[in-house]
Protein backbone atom coordinates (compact mmCIF):
# COMPACT_ATOMS: atom_id res chain seq x y z
CA UNK A 1 0.00 0.00 0.00
CA UNK A 2 1.33 3.43 -0.93
CA UNK A 3 2.09 5.76 1.98
CA UNK A 4 -0.26 8.68 2.62
CA UNK A 5 1.47 12.00 1.87
CA UNK A 6 2.63 14.04 4.84
CA UNK A 7 4.89 16.48 3.00
CA UNK A 8 3.33 19.97 2.70
CA UNK A 9 5.45 20.64 -0.40
CA UNK A 10 4.10 17.72 -2.43
CA UNK A 11 3.07 18.67 -5.97
CA UNK A 12 -0.70 19.21 -6.33
CA UNK A 13 -1.03 16.57 -9.03
CA UNK A 14 0.82 13.98 -6.95
CA UNK A 15 -1.30 14.82 -3.91
CA UNK A 16 -4.53 14.32 -5.85
CA UNK A 17 -3.17 11.08 -7.33
CA UNK A 18 -2.43 9.91 -3.77
CA UNK A 19 -6.01 10.69 -2.72
CA UNK A 20 -7.37 8.63 -5.59
CA UNK A 21 -4.91 5.84 -4.75
CA UNK A 22 -6.32 5.86 -1.22
CA UNK A 23 -9.87 5.49 -2.56
CA UNK A 24 -8.84 2.59 -4.79
CA UNK A 25 -6.68 0.79 -2.22
CA UNK A 26 -8.96 1.16 0.82
CA UNK A 27 -12.28 2.33 -0.58
CA UNK A 28 -13.89 -1.10 -0.83
CA UNK A 29 -14.67 -1.06 2.90
CA UNK A 30 -18.39 -1.13 3.69
CA UNK A 31 -18.33 0.55 7.17
CA UNK A 32 -21.77 -0.85 8.08
CA UNK A 33 -23.66 0.52 5.08
CA UNK A 34 -24.69 -1.20 1.82
CA UNK A 35 -22.20 0.82 -0.25
CA UNK A 36 -18.43 1.00 -0.23
CA UNK A 37 -16.55 4.01 1.10
CA UNK A 38 -15.53 4.87 -2.47
CA UNK A 39 -19.07 4.66 -3.86
CA UNK A 40 -20.41 6.64 -0.91
CA UNK A 41 -17.87 9.42 -1.42
CA UNK A 42 -18.64 9.68 -5.14
CA UNK A 43 -22.40 9.65 -4.54
CA UNK A 44 -22.11 12.45 -1.97
CA UNK A 45 -19.97 14.58 -4.29
CA UNK A 46 -22.33 13.90 -7.20
CA UNK A 47 -25.31 15.04 -5.12
CA UNK A 48 -23.51 18.24 -4.13
CA UNK A 49 -22.52 18.91 -7.72
CA UNK A 50 -26.05 18.24 -9.00
CA UNK A 51 -27.39 20.84 -6.56
CA UNK A 52 -24.94 23.44 -7.88
CA UNK A 53 -22.90 23.64 -4.68
CA UNK A 54 -19.55 25.40 -4.56
CA UNK A 55 -16.43 23.55 -5.62
CA UNK A 56 -15.25 23.55 -2.00
CA UNK A 57 -18.44 21.83 -0.79
CA UNK A 58 -18.28 19.28 -3.62
CA UNK A 59 -14.69 18.55 -2.60
CA UNK A 60 -15.73 18.28 1.05
CA UNK A 61 -18.49 15.85 0.07
CA UNK A 62 -15.98 13.69 -1.79
CA UNK A 63 -13.44 13.78 1.04
CA UNK A 64 -15.66 13.86 4.15
CA UNK A 65 -14.98 10.25 5.18
CA UNK A 66 -11.31 10.12 4.22
CA UNK A 67 -10.53 9.63 7.90
CA UNK A 68 -12.05 6.14 7.57
CA UNK A 69 -9.47 5.41 4.88
CA UNK A 70 -6.60 6.80 6.93
CA UNK A 71 -7.11 4.60 10.01
CA UNK A 72 -6.39 0.89 10.18
CA UNK A 73 -9.08 -0.01 12.68
CA UNK A 74 -11.17 -2.09 10.25
CA UNK A 75 -14.71 -1.87 8.93
CA UNK A 76 -16.51 -3.06 12.05
CA UNK A 77 -15.31 -0.52 14.58
CA UNK A 78 -18.84 0.73 15.39
CA UNK A 79 -19.97 -2.85 16.05
CA UNK A 80 -17.04 -3.09 18.48
CA UNK A 81 -18.19 0.05 20.28
CA UNK A 82 -15.33 2.22 18.99
CA UNK A 83 -15.58 5.76 17.63
CA UNK A 84 -12.45 6.40 15.54
CA UNK A 85 -13.29 10.12 15.33
CA UNK A 86 -12.76 9.87 11.58
CA UNK A 87 -14.01 13.42 11.10
CA UNK A 88 -11.12 14.82 13.15
CA UNK A 89 -8.53 12.52 11.63
CA UNK A 90 -9.67 13.35 8.10
CA UNK A 91 -9.88 17.09 8.67
CA UNK A 92 -6.50 17.15 10.38
CA UNK A 93 -4.83 15.51 7.40
CA UNK A 94 -6.74 17.55 4.82
CA UNK A 95 -6.06 20.96 6.44
CA UNK A 96 -2.42 20.90 5.28
CA UNK A 97 -3.57 20.84 1.67
CA UNK A 98 -7.07 22.35 1.50
CA UNK A 99 -8.75 25.55 2.70
CA UNK A 100 -11.12 25.78 5.67
CA UNK A 101 -14.10 25.80 3.27
CA UNK A 102 -13.24 22.15 2.57
CA UNK A 103 -11.85 20.98 5.89
CA UNK A 104 -14.33 22.56 8.32
CA UNK A 105 -17.46 20.91 6.85
CA UNK A 106 -15.49 17.63 6.95
CA UNK A 107 -14.58 18.22 10.60
CA UNK A 108 -18.16 19.19 11.48
CA UNK A 109 -20.16 16.61 9.53
CA UNK A 110 -20.55 14.34 12.57
CA UNK A 111 -21.50 17.32 14.73
CA UNK A 112 -24.06 18.20 12.06
CA UNK A 113 -25.62 14.74 12.46
CA UNK A 114 -25.82 15.25 16.22
CA UNK A 115 -27.31 18.71 15.63
CA UNK A 116 -29.96 17.52 13.17
CA UNK A 117 -30.84 14.61 15.47
CA UNK A 118 -31.49 17.15 18.22
CA UNK A 119 -33.55 19.68 16.25
CA UNK A 120 -35.50 17.41 13.89
CA UNK A 121 -37.19 14.25 15.27
CA UNK A 122 -37.93 13.11 11.70
CA UNK A 123 -34.21 13.21 10.89
CA UNK A 124 -33.38 11.07 13.91
CA UNK A 125 -36.10 8.54 13.03
CA UNK A 126 -34.87 8.26 9.41
CA UNK A 127 -31.21 7.46 10.19
CA UNK A 128 -29.92 4.20 8.79
CA UNK A 129 -29.21 1.53 11.43
CA UNK A 130 -25.45 1.97 11.01
CA UNK A 131 -25.73 5.75 11.30
CA UNK A 132 -27.94 5.47 14.39
CA UNK A 133 -25.40 3.11 15.96
CA UNK A 134 -22.52 5.48 15.27
CA UNK A 135 -24.59 8.43 16.55
CA UNK A 136 -24.76 6.77 19.96
CA UNK A 137 -20.97 6.38 19.97
CA UNK A 138 -20.52 9.99 18.86
CA UNK A 139 -22.42 11.47 21.79
CA UNK A 140 -26.05 11.22 20.68
CA UNK A 141 -28.23 14.23 19.86
CA UNK A 142 -26.77 17.57 20.94
CA UNK A 143 -27.88 19.39 24.05
CA UNK A 144 -29.42 22.86 23.58
CA UNK A 145 -26.10 24.45 24.58
CA UNK A 146 -24.22 22.32 22.05
CA UNK A 147 -26.75 23.26 19.37
CA UNK A 148 -26.20 26.95 20.08
CA UNK A 149 -22.42 26.55 19.80
CA UNK A 150 -22.78 24.60 16.56
CA UNK A 151 -25.10 27.21 15.05
CA UNK A 152 -22.52 29.90 15.85
CA UNK A 153 -19.90 28.23 13.66
CA UNK A 154 -19.33 30.01 10.34
CA UNK A 155 -19.28 26.60 8.66
CA UNK A 156 -22.41 25.14 10.28
CA UNK A 157 -24.67 25.63 7.26
CA UNK A 158 -22.22 23.92 4.91
CA UNK A 159 -21.70 21.11 7.41
CA UNK A 160 -25.47 20.52 7.53
CA UNK A 161 -25.64 20.40 3.73
CA UNK A 162 -22.73 17.95 3.70
CA UNK A 163 -24.50 15.85 6.32
CA UNK A 164 -27.61 15.70 4.14
CA UNK A 165 -25.53 14.49 1.19
CA UNK A 166 -23.85 11.99 3.52
CA UNK A 167 -27.21 10.55 4.57
CA UNK A 168 -28.50 10.40 0.97
CA UNK A 169 -25.36 8.95 -0.66
CA UNK A 170 -25.97 5.30 0.20
CA UNK A 171 -27.72 3.88 -2.88
CA UNK A 172 -26.33 0.43 -3.62
CA UNK A 173 -28.12 0.31 -6.99
CA UNK A 174 -26.25 3.18 -8.63
CA UNK A 175 -23.56 2.33 -11.19
CA UNK A 176 -20.00 2.78 -10.00
CA UNK A 177 -18.33 6.08 -10.88
CA UNK A 178 -14.61 6.61 -10.40
CA UNK A 179 -13.59 9.37 -7.96
CA UNK A 180 -11.28 10.67 -10.70
CA UNK A 181 -14.37 12.30 -12.17
CA UNK A 182 -13.78 15.03 -9.57
CA UNK A 183 -10.11 15.70 -10.37
CA UNK A 184 -10.83 19.16 -11.76
CA UNK A 185 -12.79 20.06 -8.63
CA UNK A 186 -9.90 19.04 -6.37
CA UNK A 187 -7.41 20.85 -8.61
CA UNK A 188 -9.52 24.01 -8.36
CA UNK A 189 -9.62 24.06 -4.55
CA UNK A 190 -6.32 22.54 -3.36
CA UNK A 191 -4.05 25.12 -1.74
CA UNK A 192 -1.04 26.32 -3.74
CA UNK A 193 2.19 24.94 -2.33
CA UNK A 194 3.20 28.32 -0.87
CA UNK A 195 -0.05 28.46 1.15
CA UNK A 196 0.17 24.98 2.68
CA UNK A 197 -0.24 24.60 6.42
CA UNK A 198 2.16 22.26 8.18
CATH number at residue 94: 1.10.3210.10
Give the pLDDT confidence of 64-103 residue by residue, as tens digits: 999 988 876 555 555 544 445 678 899 999 999 999 999 9
Specify the pTM: 0.91
Domain enclosing residue 156, as ranges: 12-192
Question: Quick check: is 2 in a domain?
Answer: no
Question: Quick check: is 43 in a domain?
Answer: yes
The CA-atom distances, in angstroms, between 123 and each of 79, 152, 160, 168 are 22, 21, 12, 12
Give the pLDDT confidence of 130-155 residue by residue, as tens digits: 888 889 888 999 999 999 999 999 99
pLDDT at 79: 52
**CB atoms < 10 A from the CB of 136, how many?**
12
Question: Quick check: is 96 in a domain?
Answer: yes
Report how far residue 144's alpha carbon sits from residue 69's, in angstroms, rounded to the nearest whole number.
Answer: 32
Question: Quick check: is 22 in a domain?
Answer: yes
Number of domains in the chain: 1
Residue 42's nearest CA partner among 188, 153, 172, 129 is 172
Report how far residue 160's alpha carbon sits from residue 184's, in angstroms, rounded to the nearest whole number.
Answer: 24
Secondary structure (DSSP) of 128-140? -HHHHHHHHHTTS
Question: Quick check: is 7 in a domain?
Answer: no
Question: Quick check: is 3 in a domain?
Answer: no
Question: Quick check: is 30 in a domain?
Answer: yes
Question: Quick check: is 197 in a domain?
Answer: no
Secondary structure (DSSP) of 145-178? HHHHHHHTSTTHHHHHHHHHHHHH---TTSPP--
pLDDT bin (cut points 50, 70, 90) of residue 6 is confident
Residue pair 56/189 in contact by the 8 Å Cβ criterion: yes
Amino acid sequence: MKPVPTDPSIDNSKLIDAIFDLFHERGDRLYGEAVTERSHAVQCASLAQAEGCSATLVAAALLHDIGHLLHDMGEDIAQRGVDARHEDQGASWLRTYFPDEVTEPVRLHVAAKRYLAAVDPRYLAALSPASAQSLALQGGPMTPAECARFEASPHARQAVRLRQFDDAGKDSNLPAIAPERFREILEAVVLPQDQRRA
